[in-house]
Amino acid sequence: MTPKTTVVVGSLDALRDVLDAGDLLDVSSDTDVVLLPTAAAFLGINEAAIELSTLFEPSGARVEALMLADRASNAEPYFVERVKSADLVVLSDGSALHAKSVWHGSPVGEALRDARCLVAVGAVASLLGDVMIDPRGGAPTTGLGYRTGLVLGVSASDEQLSRTRTLLGLDGTFAVLGPRGVVYFDGSSWHLASDDVVTTRGHDVVEL
């Protein structure tokens, strides 16, 4: 895997597509995979971990879920080392705001920033950038700044997306991922890997 690769997918189905294709993520029985279902804390952290781990069963990869639902566990040396040493770290879909509050300024958060290969599923991807989208109304707010160059979001109402694009203005490129959407960061720039993504600057559609 390429160092500092980041893959963002719109859903578990999109992640399954990526794993089946094997071009962006070459996962095998030698791959050490760490799952962080933190963002799913309010929806079912155990269920999220099971859903994610199931996707890796065909490859035979070594998979471990780190059940970090609150800040108290984010300084544990074992969890920090697991994120640092993993070949692939996968962030579950769920509340970006909750995950941000847990990871911000924590040792686990720093390990995520430096992860060799990071996959973010669904809404949690928004917090990776310098700017994230507040799901409560679509307003831009401060992200964790782990990956720069793109504002990430998922499908919402036309009204909310229009508001987000107005508030963002021309300050950044906004990528909205549908359920089958995939984009990836190769360490220097972002690239489109599926048709189910709309990228805009202001209200104008642009190429990524």
Residue 160, in any domain of the structure: no
83 burial type by CB count under 10 A (0-12 exposed, 13-18 middle, 19+ buried): buried
- Convert the pLDDT of each residue in 189-205 to its tens digit: 999 999 999 999 999 99
Query: Mean pLDDT for the chain?
Result: 94
pLDDT reported for residue 3: 43
In the sheet that 151-154 helps form, which strands lie side by side, from edge to edge?
151-154, 173-177, 197-201, 204-205
Residue 41, in any domain of the structure: yes
Q: How far from chain centre, in Å, is Cα 160?
A: 21
- Convert the pLDDT of each residue in 97-126 to its tens digit: 999 999 999 999 999 999 999 999 999 999
Structural domain that includes position 101: 5-131+178-193
Residue 152, in any domain of the structure: no
- Convert the pLDDT of each residue in 71-97 to its tens digit: 888 889 999 999 999 999 999 999 999
Q: Residue 1: pLDDT above 80?
A: no
Q: Residue 167: pLDDT above 80?
A: yes
Residue 157, in any domain of the structure: no
Best CA proximity match to 71, nearest among 36, 102, 112, 25: 102
Q: In the chain, how many domains are there?
A: 1
CATH code, domain with 62:
3.40.50.880
